[in-house]
């Protein structure tokens, strides 16, 4: 089993002053965000009248609790919304099969003979946690998986420390789903940064958490290379993953991204591309909590493309957004 289990918790005495320790979460949210920004950037940010993307992300975290944001951090709701769009029917867009949804891994264990040799387990309501199961190498330790699942069902740093409000509205569930790709490592993933139905920038990441990690940036056409001003930027003279996409795939992926991102002032659409097909994984509304490594030019460019919403404007689709969070869907092995 390959495992991503969220951030490491610091030990005492560092835990007393570390954001992931027991005390930081009790500070007012605005103060937490200012301190986190100072820690990451080395200077204070302007969160009242933000101009940079990193500052606007802080503004969103502190202020934005609109209904349209709520389902984006619920993986099942996000997939339901995205798959309902007409462009999702394209031959170049697919969604991983969901085998099982629930809160008790022991229920999933009863279906183990119906599961494929390789599959994924992850929480519906969190980020950075995923178990890649492969029974062709080792038998599954269901007791350990059950223990981990119980822990994953608890609210974590996404809400309690970083204040990512939408994760608090997501349903606490576990998901067993299809693993995309047959290799030992995950295929390169494509991330589309969008604002109100337009792609602002796109980038591929490959070799995550390995020594060979690279980030390959593209303009909205998915053909023209651009530097992301990131330490892991792939050299501009090297060919990139988008070069292998057919023109039809590029057209359909762009059309899909434009359609599903139209209601959102900012959203990142994440997926894996295999054999000319974009497999939708999730929306990301708080990328790196706005604190990740980012060059000033890219921070300015993404910030200028993001027009912050008027939080007092009524949303005629509010009932639609809330409905996406109702009930517990079933996987294909539960039907």
> In this predicted model, what pLDDT tens digit does every residue of 132-158 receive, in sequence order?
999 998 899 999 999 999 999 999 999
**Host H or E run for residue 268:** strand 267-274
* 174-178 and 129-134 beta bridge pairing: unpaired
Q: Lay out the sheet containing 198-206: strands in order across.
A: 93-94, 277-284, 267-274, 189-195, 198-206, 214-218, 225-226
pLDDT for residue 209: 66
| Distance in angstroms (rounded) separating the CA atoms of residues 166 and 238 | 38
Which residues are bridge partners to 270 per DSSP? 191, 282
Q: Is the peptide bond before 13 cis (omega within 30 degrees of 0)?
A: yes
For residue range 186-203, what is the model confidence (pLDDT) as tens digits?
788 999 999 999 999 999
Averaged pLDDT of the chain: 95
Q: Which CB contacts under 8 angstroms, 24+ apart, belong to 94-98?
A: 94/277, 94/278, 94/279, 94/280, 95/279, 95/280, 96/120, 96/177, 96/178, 96/179, 96/180, 96/279, 96/280, 96/281, 97/177, 97/178, 97/332, 98/175, 98/176, 98/177, 98/178, 98/329, 98/331, 98/332
User: Which residues neighbour 17 within 8 Å (Cβ) at sequence distance 6 or greater?
Assistant: 23
pLDDT in tens, the chain (335 residues): 888 999 998 998 899 899 999 999 999 999 999 999 999 999 999 999 999 999 999 999 999 999 999 999 999 999 999 999 999 999 999 999 999 999 999 999 999 999 999 999 999 999 999 999 999 988 999 999 999 999 999 999 999 999 999 999 999 999 999 999 887 777 889 999 999 999 999 999 987 767 778 999 999 999 999 998 888 899 998 889 999 999 999 999 999 999 999 999 999 999 999 999 999 999 999 999 999 999 999 999 999 999 999 999 999 999 999 999 999 999 999 97
What are the helix and strand counts (H, E) for the chain?
10, 12
Q: What is the 3-state secondary structure (H, E, C) of 83-126?
A: HCCHHHHCCCEECCCEEEEECCHHHHHCCHHHCCCEEEEEECCC
Of 103, 163, 110, 153, residue with least CA distance to 129: 153
H/E run at residue 143? helix 142-152
What is the distance between the alpha carbons of residues 140 and 134, in angstroms, rounded to a whole number? 8
245 with 221: CB under 8 angstroms?
no
Residue 189: enclosing H or E segment and its boundaries?
strand 189-195
For residues 121 and 3, is the Cβ–Cβ distance under 8 A? no
Q: Are 282 and 75 in contact (CB under 8 A)?
A: yes
For residue 121, the tally of other CB atoms under 10 A from its CB is 24
To the nearest 10°, report the CA torsion of 93, 97, 98, 99.
Answer: 180
- N-terminal to C-terminal alpha carbon distance within the chain: 27
Strand partners, 153: none
> Do residues 128 and 208 touch, judged by C-beta distance below 8 A?
no
DSSP state of 184: S
User: Per CATH, the architecture of 2-323 is what?
Assistant: 2-Layer Sandwich (3.30)
Cβ atoms 214, 206 nearer than 8 A: yes
């Amino acid at each position: 089993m390959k495992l991503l289990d969220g951030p490491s918790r610091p030990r005492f005495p560092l835990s007393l002053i570390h954001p992931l320790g027991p005390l930081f979460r009790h500070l007012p949210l605005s103060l937490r965000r200012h301190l986190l920004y100072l820690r990451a950037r080395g200077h204070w940010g302007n969160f009242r009248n933000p101009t940079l993307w990193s500052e606007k992300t802080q503004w969103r975290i502190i202020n934005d609790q609109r209904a349209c944001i709520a389902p984006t951090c619920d993986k099942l709701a996000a997939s339901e919304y995205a798959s309902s769009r007409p462009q999702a029917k394209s031959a170049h867009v697919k969604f991983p099969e969901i085998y099982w949804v629930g809160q008790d891994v022991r229920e999933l264990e009863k279906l183990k003979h119906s599961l494929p040799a390789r599959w994924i387990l992850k929480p519906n309501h969190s980020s950075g946690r995923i178990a890649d199961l492969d029974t062709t190498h080792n038998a599954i330790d269901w007791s350990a998986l059950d223990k981990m699942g119980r822990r994953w069902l608890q609210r974590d740093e996404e809400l309690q420390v970083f204040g990512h409000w939408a994760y608090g509205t997501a349903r606490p569930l576990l998901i067993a789903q299809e693993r995309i790709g047959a290799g030992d490592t995950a295929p390169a993933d494509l991330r589309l940064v969008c604002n109100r139905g337009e792609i602002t920038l796109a980038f591929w990441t490959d070799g995550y958490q390995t020594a060979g990690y690279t980030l390959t940036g593209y303009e909205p056409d998915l053909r023209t290379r651009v530097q992301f001003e990131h330490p892991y930027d792939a050299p501009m003279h090297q060919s990139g993953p988008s070069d292998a996409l057919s023109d039809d795939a590029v057209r359909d992926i762009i059309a899909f991204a434009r359609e599903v991102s139209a209601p959102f002032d900012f959203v990142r659409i994440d997926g894996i591309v295999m054999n000319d097909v974009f497999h939708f994984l999730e929306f990301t509304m708080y990328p790196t909590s706005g604190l990740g490594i980012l060059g000033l030019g890219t921070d300015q460019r993404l910030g200028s493309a993001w027009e912050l919403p008027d939080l007092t404007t009524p949303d005629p689709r509010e009932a639609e957004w809330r409905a996406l969070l109702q009930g517990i869907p079933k996987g294909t092995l539960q039907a």
